[in-house]
Amino acid sequence: MEKPQLMRKLSYFALIVLLLGIICIIVGAVNLANVKSVEVADNKNQPSEWYFAANLTRGNSYWVYIEANAVWGEPFNNGAFTTPQPVDVTITSPGGGITSLQAYFYGLSTSNPDYREGTPPAIVEVTYENVDSSSLSVIGTSGTISFSVEESGIYTVRVLNEDWISTPPDFFVFYKDVSSNSGTYTLLASAGGVLSVFGGITFVMSIFRKEQVKHKRTRK
């Protein structure tokens, strides 16, 4: 077989491997991003507490839902508050470290067309003041209290009494973010990366070699 034909076939093969690798990366990444939230703990049977603790596992990602008490919504409903209001929240790690944050709650006035009776204020923004990085890593979503756990054990979320809230939240819920078949899709994405690198390098080398063969034939 002549060298130009061999190089041409090699370049086609490399291009196919490269495209296959890209497809594997896309499929793996898309499915890894398809995360479902599964409830792992709540205190709905013992509501109206200022704090709630749950046993969390290292390596998992969690987020915390805080159901505001109906009383919290009254200043929004009557128009006294027109902007989100901060509530101080702490997360105590198994080793005693404390992560402190402010969760901003917002509700609607009764004159708002979107107002629905009985709908409590909801968290619309979260800002972190201190993070116990030895036990958890904050996940960069500004609208939820989200973090991944670096140390297994009991984590306690506590709402601190503010001037504008005199009653505790209705309840707390811990959710775990779950990606189905994450191991398979992680492997698929990794394999896609390897194939892409191999295919890309081989494709470039085949083009380079093909050009070299052309130059040699021209010199003759």
pLDDT in tens, 50-67: 999 999 999 899 999 999
The one-letter amino acid code at 98 reads I
What are the DSSP E strand ranges found in the chain? 35-42, 51-56, 61-67, 85-92, 98-106, 122-130, 136-138, 145-149, 153-159, 171-179
**Alpha carbons 106 and 180: distance in angstroms, whole number:** 33
**Would you say 105 and 132 are in contact if contact means Cβ atoms under 8 Å apart?**
no
Look at residue 43 and tell me whether its pLDDT is greater than 60: yes
pTM over 0.95: no
Residue 130: predicted pLDDT:
93
What are 143-183's pLDDT values in tens digits?
Answer: 899 999 999 999 999 999 778 888 999 999 999 987 655 45
pLDDT at residue 45 above 90? Answer: no
Q: Can you tell me the distance from the alpha carbon of 20 to that of 23, in angstroms, rounded to the nearest whole number?
A: 5
CA dihedral 136, 138, 139, 140 (to 10 degrees): -170
- Provide the pLDDT for residue 155: 97
Amino acid 122: pLDDT: 94
Domain 35-179: assigned CATH number: 2.60.120
Report which of residues 128 and 179 the model is more confident about.
Answer: 128
What's the burial of 39, exposed, middle or buried (CB within 10 Å: 0-12/13-18/19+)? exposed
Q: What share of the chain has pLDDT > 70, as a percent? A: 70
Residue ranges of domains in the chain: 3-29+184-219, 35-179
